[in-house]
Amino acid sequence: MHDDRRLVEARLKRVLDERIRPAVYPESTPLDVAVWVAPGEPVPVEEGLAGEVSPVEVGTRWGAPWSTSWFRVTGTVPQEWAGKHVEALLDLGFDENMPGFQCEGLVYRPDGSPVKGLNPRNQWVRVGAPAAGGEEVVLHVEAASNPVILDYHPFLPTQLGDKETAGTEPQYTLTRMDLVVFDETVWNLVQDLEVLGELVAELPEDSARRHEITRAISRSLDAVDLQDVNGSAAAARAELVEVLSTPAPATAHRISAVGHAHIDSAWLWPLRETVRKVARTTANMTALLEDEPEFIFAMSQAQQFAWIKEHRPEVYARVKAAVAEGRLVPAGGMWVESDTNMPGSEAMARQFVHGKRFFMDEFGIENDEAWLPDTFGFAAGLPQIIKAAGSKWLLTQKISWSTINKFPHHTFNWEGIDGTRIFTHFPPVDTYNCSMKGSEIAHAARNFKEKGVARRSLAPSGFGDGGGGTTREIIAKAARMRSLEGSATVQWETPKQFFTEAEAEYPEPPVWVGELYLELHRATLTSQAQTKQGNRRSEHLLREAELWAATASLRTGAPYPYEDLDRIWKTVLLHQFHDILPGSSIAWVHREARATYARIAGELNDIIDGAQRALAGEGDRELVFNSAPHTRGGVQAGAATAAVAQAAAKLSERDGGGFVLDNGLLRVEIDGRGLVVSAYDIAAERETIAPGHAANLPQLHADFPNQWDAWDVDEFYRNTVTDLTDIAELAPADLGDGSAAVRVVRAFGTSTMTQVLQLTPSAKRLDVTTEVDWHETEKFLKLAFPLDVHADRYASETQFGHVYRATHTNTTWEAAKFEACNHRFVHLAEPDWGVAIVNDSTYGHDVTRAVRNGEGGDGGTTTTVRASLLRAPRFPDPETDQGVHRFHHALAPGATIKDAVAEGHWINLPERRVQGAADVAPLVAVDNDAVVVSALKLADDESGDLVVRLYESTGSRAKARVTVDVPAGGVAFTDLLERPLGETRPAFTDGTVELSLRPFELVTLRFARA
């Protein structure tokens, strides 16, 4: 028999599309439909069910953008369908090619109990299996007309991303509302043929197995009566039994399937819509778990569980029951699947604290894994944080998106900056929305880098972002591939089962040291500047609030705001989600984020102000509070009477135009263009600025990436650059504080920039405050500092330390990092002298190196650091970053790493002045500036214990004495969740603990209340 695969494939496709799939529902009868449109925002379920409905016909356009329509569908099961499997088929106007990015629905019974979600690949609702005939059917559908933002031309600007600009045009057409007979035999034939047809396409041309399956498919199609598919389906299935029963060899690659629905906590929809997406998906998955006894579904993000607990308790009850059975698995142990590059040290720690604690409190479950399939790269400080939270594994997928270098492992140990190693897995299936297609399964087996020494991988399986999760079709396909010759084997397992087995199988995996840099989405370090500034400011306000509230509580008995701080932390953590903080969400999300950050700042400032006033007491002395971990003005994390003013810095005119600023430590020359042409370290007799160059140079680039506008910046943006050297104003600025300062105003395009360059008394740094009224489109604004430093690497602050990156491009791995992340500082150094550039709110930057040759060149090296200030992408928010922005940077010549750490804290934690009676001694003092206190707070369990988290910040070994100025009954080492670590306790004498720390070591101390 001729078995040309291509001919059989063509025949199979047509017969499936035109005859067999339509026969899955051989009989149907229309349902009656009526609708009530909710005014404004979504309403509670009971209100939606009670809405006054009006009749509506199939074919009607419905749903203004972001509105909610409550459909009521009613009908009667025909008596002649008695004994048959009957379903309602409810198509709201779905596009099956785009699950998760369009309209969705949640089906309720008249009593308000949830049934399941409606999604493009999940349009059915079971009525009876079997039906008795004559049943009255009444279903209510809460239908969300979320507009399609990510269309087939995904990067076109659209006003649909905010309800305030989206208009009222109906988005969808009601397509089908029927009662149908479901022919399970035909449906199973579809699954049989799809699995085998997809497998054949992946087998080698000369494979005996390929020919065997091709012949079986051909026989099966011969057995189909095209005029009576339902009557002949059983016979057609019989022809496939043998090839579906041939088991896979013991050497086959093994795939652990984990039911999954990756749901972005905000992205192309607002936060309020994610609440409903989660409810729809969990309603779907709990229903599917009841039908499929082997199925396992994993769901991450404690915030999403908390949302349905608060807003959809009827769905949450089903979730809790499924968790208790071990079928629905809370995964990841984080509050949200956050970005991991930009969150500060404490924020990254608190993601695990709040996530793991929620899962323990709600379900009695502690997660061993971090679950971050979609996050845009991973900071090198993360392994230590995962371990300190009591976890030991990491799963991600996104690194497979890198566009330049292919990551060399799928299973490996990841080593962080302190030497901590975390067992890590990248699923070789290369998707976190696996649908069990043969091409996906074959790709996982072929692609797996560790074949030969390991043979296990994981496949997150299901449609995310509102696509409804795993489908019954996915489960059916997985069942057929449990052991099928020619295919990898597939079995449903929990993440813990997979990691336990994979780690046992591969006890000595390869090691990757340092950050997991994603060679894509680099512009997320800059897009939506005000969201990033809100995050940075919130992190530091939370530090201050905890510090002063704890001090006031222990010193004065003032109440500690446990509930307020817990709530605010969770809000900040939510906004670190990997499409909010990175600036890649729609306008609505960022508009709300700006308002949220403003509200948070008000609340935290009230907490800080109240605590400081309680500590200061009644008096007329001006006290200066220092919240930074390093001594400033003679005070370390306390308050002292304002010092006598230092001798003022001097300002004079510069020969050739411009001004000279001098405070005895630095002499800074600003030329007639408002650029810094000299920053001279007087004690070191060392120039900072590269000869022939100028710093504080604004530079503007065209910025139109090949795709993913808000996410990406492509290296070719550097091909064109405009130096913004024209000035509208250059004049001295009298700040009234003894500073020497110059004001510079520039106009470019339709934007303006105003800068103040300031040299304060006794500070060895030049402060640069920049205000930009930004109205550009598809442009990238940077601030350049060309430095006379010869260094082949530089340091960028990351969580609990810093990471080194190359200044050169020797390899493609180094060249790919043309835009990278830093927190509060970058630092470059020769062996005896260095420079720091610190900031209060920017993350993206680039560092390049060039040799000064040619005319006027001295052969030395110029290393240029550029801070990324603003972008202007038009998708998904067409008005990204338009408006006024303020940034604060500082150039610190002669700075060591230790200095850079201190300067970075000082610029982000400005002093506060309060009228009071007496100085406030620090609650905790550390005698080594290399050891930094990252948090000082009362224990979350409201015991009144004092928690101090600190770390070694310079990358060296360090000894430190930590002294607490409050009665304490003992001290223990704890994990991030403030739980004791074993029986070992530090020596504690006269309120002092002596520590010896490894480079970048993180330590949490808990002092028991006396």
Q: Which residue type is seen at 450?
A: E
Sequence-separated (6 or more) residues with CB below 8 Å from residue 315? 114, 279, 282, 283, 286, 308
* Backbone φ, ψ for residue 746 (5° rounding): -130, 150
User: Per DSSP, what are the bridge partners of residue 669?
Assistant: 660, 678
Sequence-separated (6 or more) residues with CB below 8 Å from residue 252? 445, 455, 483, 487, 488, 489
User: Per DSSP, what are the bridge partners of residue 70?
Assistant: 36, 142
Residues 382-417: b if buried by 16+ CB within 10 A, e if exposed: bbbbbbbbbbbbbbbbbbbebeeeebebbbbbbbbb
User: Per DSSP, what are the bridge partners of residue 885?
Assistant: 772
Alpha-carbon distance of 395 to 168, in angstroms, equals 42
Catalytic residue status for 374: yes
Sequence-separated (6 or more) residues with CB below 8 Å from residue 719? none
Alpha-carbon distance of 129 to 562, in angstroms, equals 52
Nearest residue to 892 via CA among 874, 905, 910, 882: 905
Tokens, residue 548: 């002063």
Q: In what order do the strands lie in the sheet with 32-38?
A: 54-55, 32-38, 68-76, 136-144, 104-108, 114-118
How many C-beta atoms lie closer than 10 Å to residue 634's C-beta?
12
Nearest residue to 830 via CA among 798, 796, 794, 800: 794
**Planar angle of CA 797, 801, 806, nearest 5 degrees:** 55
Alpha-carbon distance of 847 to 867, in angstroms, equals 9
Alpha-carbon distance of 72 to 22, in angstroms, equals 26
- Collapse the DSSP code of 617 into the 3-class scheme (helix H, G, I; strand E, B; otherwise coil) and give the result: coil
Nearest residue to 846 via CA among 714, 968, 962, 706: 714
Q: Which residue type is seen at 493?
A: E
Sequence-separated (6 or more) residues with CB below 8 Å from residue 308? 275, 278, 279, 282, 315, 316, 319
Angle between helices 562-574 and 302-311 (to 10 degrees): 110
- Collapse the DSSP code of 1010 into the 3-class scheme (helix H, G, I; strand E, B; otherwise coil) and give the result: coil
Tokens, residue 390: 């009591």
Cβ proximity of 869 and 548 under 8 Å: no
Tokens, residue 574: 């939510």
Burial bucket for residue 307 (CB in 10 Å: 0-12, 13-18, 19+): buried
Distance between terminal CA atoms of the chain? Answer: 88
User: Per DSSP, what are the bridge partners of residue 938?
Assistant: 946
Burial bucket for residue 662 (CB in 10 Å: 0-12, 13-18, 19+): middle
Q: What residue has token string 């005000």?
A: 530
How many C-beta atoms lie closer than 10 Å to residue 927's C-beta?
13
User: Per DSSP, what are the bridge partners of residue 782?
Assistant: 699, 868
- Residue 321 is classified by DSSP as H
**Rounded (10°) CA dihedral 920, 922, 928, 929:** -60
If you count them, how many residues does the chain have? 1010
Q: What residue has token string 């512009």?
A: 523
Cβ proximity of 984 and 973 under 8 Å: yes
Which of 374, 662, 671, 975 is labelled catalytic?
374
Catalytic center residues: 374
